[in-house]
Amino acid sequence: MPRLLSLLVAIATAVPLIADEPKKPAKDRYESRRRFDPDGINKFYLGRQIAQVMGYQGASWLERPEREKEESPAKLIEALAIKEGMTVADVGAGSGYHTFRIAPLVGEKGKVLAVDIQQEMLDLMTARAKKEKVTNVQTVKGTDKDPKLPEGKVDLIFLVDVYHEFEHPYEMTEKMVAALKPGGRLVFVEFREEDREVPIKPVHKMSERQVIKEMAEFPALEHTKTYDKLPWQHVVIFTKKEEKK
């Protein structure tokens, strides 16, 4: 009996220890493959190869005059339905091509958070804001896993030709969803993979189906619209569901 009692005590003592053990990490979401497109990195997410990041040396390409014809930025901005007083995050803002088009729309009471991981890009935007006396643009240095946005404070986050380059798309999206207000929108502007006539390298294009597939990982998001009236890109829009009371 003493022996049995000792065994029972030992088991009872061990139970809390087992319950307090940290959860095992989730299965790795990313994979590498023997064969991959050299224009991307050998890292795949939900079947999609992640593209190489365009460095700050390509800033002049972002400001090319042909971009007006190829991407119709005025139509894009109109489709975003930006209102005065909004907080808008341009994630992967680069040289600020879209940032400075949005700044006048949000007005003095609003602001544009221009996020990039390259300090050189942030410096370009800071210099332009100073030169043009734009006071409602705030540059933010993010990381490859976190755009460093304020939680629950952003009305609109949009990503122009950049999400496909995120080295950690799940972690980035998780942070962006947290940054959105209930009813806020997360907008993906990507070159249409479905259209072979779009003269962009394959790993730098995404289909609407793939974007929706990747956002299905986040129950708080709802696909509310896809705008397909741009020459080369589609605009895939998700809305953060309102919190249930």
Sketch the domain layout of the chain as residue ranges: 28-240
pLDDT of residue 25: 47
pLDDT of residue 1: 44
pLDDT of residue 143: 98
Cα 62 from Cα 64, distance rounded (Å): 6
Three-state secondary structure string covering the chain:
CHHHHHHHHHHHHHHHHHHCCCCCCCCCCEECCCCCCCCEEEEEECCEEEECCCCHHHHHHHCCCCHHHHHCHHHHHHHCCCCCCCEEEEECCCCCCCHHHHHHHHCCCCEEEEEECCHHHHHHHHHHHHHHCCCCEEEEECCCCCCCCCCCCEEEEEEECCHHHCCCHHHHHHHHHHHEEEEEEEEEEEEECCCCCCCCCHHHEECHHHHHHHHCCCCCEEEEEEECCCCCEEEEEEEECCCCC
pLDDT of residue 27: 58
Which fold would CATH assign to domain 28-240? Rossmann fold (3.40.50)
pLDDT of residue 243: 79
pLDDT of residue 83: 97
pLDDT of residue 187: 98
pLDDT of residue 130: 97
Enumerate residue ranges in the chain where pLDDT < 70: 1-27, 245
pLDDT of residue 10: 39
pLDDT of residue 28: 84
Express each pLDDT in 136-180 by its tens digit.
999 999 999 999 999 999 999 999 999 999 999 999 999 999 999
pLDDT of residue 23: 39
Cα 115 from Cα 122, distance rounded (Å): 8
pLDDT of residue 64: 86
